[in-house]
Chains A and B, each alone.
Chain A
Amino acid sequence: MSPLPIRSRHVERFLTLRRSATNHLVTGLAVISTIVVLVPLIAILGYLIYKGASSLNLAFFTHVPVPVGETGGGMANAIAGSSVILGLASLLGIPLGIGAGVYLAEYARGTWLGAGVRFTADVLNGVPSIVMGLAAYALIVAKQQHFSALAGGVALAIMMVPTVARTTEEMLATVPNPVREAALGLGIPKWRTVLSVSLRTASPGIITGCMLAFARVAGETAPLLFTAFGNQFWNFNVNQPIAALPLQIYIYALSPYDEWHRLAWAGALVLMVLIMVSVTLVRIFANRGVLKGGD
């Protein structure tokens, strides 16, 4: 039997110290990195509040933009326009998305078609939003020869469908199968089981998913650049170009006028507040849904 190699005490101590030092170094780096990452977040949010809050007044929410050189004015038409576009997008995108999600969770578990739809939805979620805008442009704007809120709504709807489908599917998957079997065992037809048992049980989570999708598209600018196009005035006609909050922020940010920059900050603050409210509501809903659904 060969003798065990004996390292001198000094080498042992050195190795142990080195391992310990590395450990501490990494721990330190991890902590520092977290701080480094949180800094821009707080910087952005803080700066938003600082620059935007002062410009938020009643006029912002009720007036349309005024000509360059004048002060005052607001983004009321952009907020209204965003509402129209988002309403359209939700009307088109959410039902399709929920339907696809129901299909994936209740009819297609383990099938190849289901896997294909699921994979395609995931991949679609990664496509840049400007491409959706291009598709809506080619589909609607090019044919109609004018920009419209409808085109903007369709572009955003295309973005919502895969997102809503996947979250709906995931929420439905949390409904325990015995609950479905109980309903089927009572002689309740499958369609009624899906509607009144599965969907009803998963509804808090599904609503959460829809809100998340809504918050995500509410901040999108790129797909609206050449579909909704923007509008300096009030417009509620779906077939006309229409203003939108993120679009207006973009236009104002790039302009050379200080007054418009001020409005851009205010608009960005409003947008962030809306999104943060949605995200927080989502978190509250998600927790409640999990607890309410029983174990």
Chain B
Amino acid sequence: MGVEIRVEDLNAWYGTVHTLHDVSLHIPANHVTALIGPSGCGKSTFVRCLNRLHETNPSARAEGTVLMGDIDIYKDASPVEIRRRVGMVFQRPNPFPTMSIYDNVASGLKLNGFRKKRILDEVVERSLKQAALWDEVKDDLKKKSGASLSGGQQQRLCIARALAVDPEVLLMDEPASALDPVSTAKIEDLIFKLKSQYTIVIVTHNMQQAARVAENTGFFLMGKLVEFAATAKIFTNPSDKRTEDYITGRFG
């Protein structure tokens, strides 16, 4: 159900700062791809280029080719159309504070004009179950606001919200970094269960996390993609010395 992503020579700038240099990679469909690297190496920027969210910053610019399936997301479609096909989960949970849990999950549909209540109910339930949050909130769907949940619950709510629009790709920018270990474990569990249905790209600081959930891993350093390989290879037998230095903790 997911779609593959091919990136060719992607460059990005914030104002005059060149944040991504000639990044090329192939993200396979229905697999989990992890992106690791030290702070500020461009992995978040890269992921935001995949759903054109970096464009919301007026001084940002991107050049290159990003093919989602056979659509060039920069040339063949508008940002809004792309973002409807690509879901994103952010580092800090950001549920809509004035909306109930139900409205939060359904927001991607309701705010895009979808009105059929029966289907919305189905979708909300399905998404919350996929996000492993259903049992905890099923009695308070419309009574509690999204912001009244705990941190880990909020993040699962955001995942449910992203899943409700049935995306083909799920981007996760350090989804568990602001959470406690129990919630982190729940989310990693989630990713494992979801990967058969979506193409998942996860940015993470935590190498063990990458090793646990991802089939493939890419190592970013200073805006360049240094190495991209099967996770097992990256962590046991990396080809590039810089990768090895990072993995063994010499920096970052």
Contacts and interface: CB of A to CB of B under 8 A. Distances in A.
A142 B96 CA distance: 51
Q: Which of A178, A182, A187, A294 has the most CB of B within 10 A?
A: A187
Contacts, number: 75
Given A181-B53, A182-B158, A294-B147, A187 B94 contact: no
Given A292-B97, A294-B147, A186 B53 contact: no
Interface in B120-161: 145, 147, 158, 161
Interface in B93-128: 94-98, 107-108, 111-112
A201 B81 CA distance: 25
Given A201-B97, A201-B98, A184 B90 contact: no
B90 A182 contact: yes
Given A178-B90, A178-B94, A201-B98, A183 B107 contact: yes
Given A181-B53, A181-B90, A187 B112 contact: yes
Contacts of A186: 83-84, 87, 107-108, 111-112, 161-162, 165
B53 A184 contact: yes
Contact of A188 (B58, B88, B108): B108
B97 A185 contact: no
Interface of B: 51, 53, 56, 58, 80-85, 87-88, 90, 92, 94-98, 107-108, 111-112, 145, 147, 158, 161-162, 165
Interface of A: 110, 176, 178-189, 192-193, 196-197, 200-201, 203, 292-294
Given A186-B107, A187-B112, 20 more contacts: A176-B94, A179-B97, A181-B94, A183-B107, A184-B83, A185-B53, A186-B87, A186-B112, A187-B82, A187-B83, A187-B84, A187-B108, A188-B80, A188-B112, A189-B80, A192-B112, A193-B111, A293-B98, A294-B97, A294-B145
